Amino acid sequence: MRLRLRSPEQPSRPQQTRRSSFCISGAANSLWLTERLTIALDLHPSVRVLDLGCGRAASSIFLRREFGVQVWATDLWFSVSENIERIRDAGVEDGVFPIHADARSLPFAAEFFDAIVCIDSFYYYGTDDLYLNYLARFVKPGGAVGIAGAGLVREIEGPLPEHLREWWTQDLWCLHSAAWWRQHWERTDILDIELCDTMAEGWRLWLDWHKVIAPDNASEIKALEADRGSYLGYVRLVGRRNGRTKLADHVVSLPAKYTKRPLLRREE
């Protein structure tokens, strides 16, 4: 049986979401975001997908069951041993492969994937100016890179708005608007941007979801209620590797080659 959700423009409310073996965490329901992102991707059973920052692998399970793709469910924080049990329970062990890895040190061959998706985690590492050059080597020319997750409707110019101060921590400066992400990717000329937008009423879904998974987190709920989509929301971006831009070599370390020389000129 395939897993079907409502339209990602108006997903079902989290109050209607039953607890299951693949619990979801974070600022968004990963299934809502995955479904909304895949609308812009060409996925079919012959496709290999890197699900980067997959968390508890709910998005990976969805991709396998909905499109028949092979998925490498890759995450640094969540246990692969727990994820494989969840994958088995969902009946997709033949096509979802849990991997423990850092997004900055991926154990894959160049151009191994047809597509890369990242649900609500790209902002943790993707703001690095050099990261897209690193990540793009793992997707074939013509392959897509898509991200969806919490972000900003517009950039914060000047001081932090007063209604966000109680909740805001230093790590939240990694949140950016869709326009910021477009400019961040476009200037590299590595990807041709095919889609870049903000989810309508995303802040409401964020608020509803958080009331279910973290009802005691009063500061975040208060911030979302006060903001009402002025700054906070969900962003989506899809680009396709064009192949015309040569990627810079990823240097892990320089070769060791020591030649003994005098430290001072007068010793020569």
Q: Convert 166-222 into a string of H (helix), E (strand) and C (coil).
A: CCCCHHHHHCCEHHHHHHHHHCCCCEEEEEEEECCCHHHHHHHHHHHHCCCCHHHHH
Model confidence, pTM:
0.86
**Contacting residues for 43 by C-beta, under 8 A, at least 6 apart:** 49, 63, 67, 69, 115
Confidence bin at 5 (pLDDT 50/70/90): very low
Kindly provide the b/e burial profile for residues 231-265, where b requires at least 16 CB atoms within 10 angstroms of the residue's own CB.
bbbbbbbbbbbeeeeeeeeeeeeeeeeeeeeeeee
CA atoms within 13 A on the CB side of 168: 16
Which residues are CB-neighbours of 184 under 8 A, at least 6 positions away? 127, 129, 132, 176
Q: How far is CA 111 from the centre of its chain?
A: 19
| pLDDT confidence of residue 13 | 35
Task: In whole angstroms, give the CA distance from residue 162 to residue 165.
Answer: 5
Residue 7, pLDDT above cutoff 50: no
pLDDT tens digits for range 15-34: 333 333 334 456 788 999 99
Domain ranges of the chain: 21-244
Tokens of 99: 């991997």
pLDDT tens digit string along 182-230?
Answer: 999 999 999 999 999 999 899 999 999 999 988 999 999 999 999 999 9
Q: What percent of the chain has pLDDT over 90?
A: 78
Question: Domain 21-244 class?
Answer: alpha beta
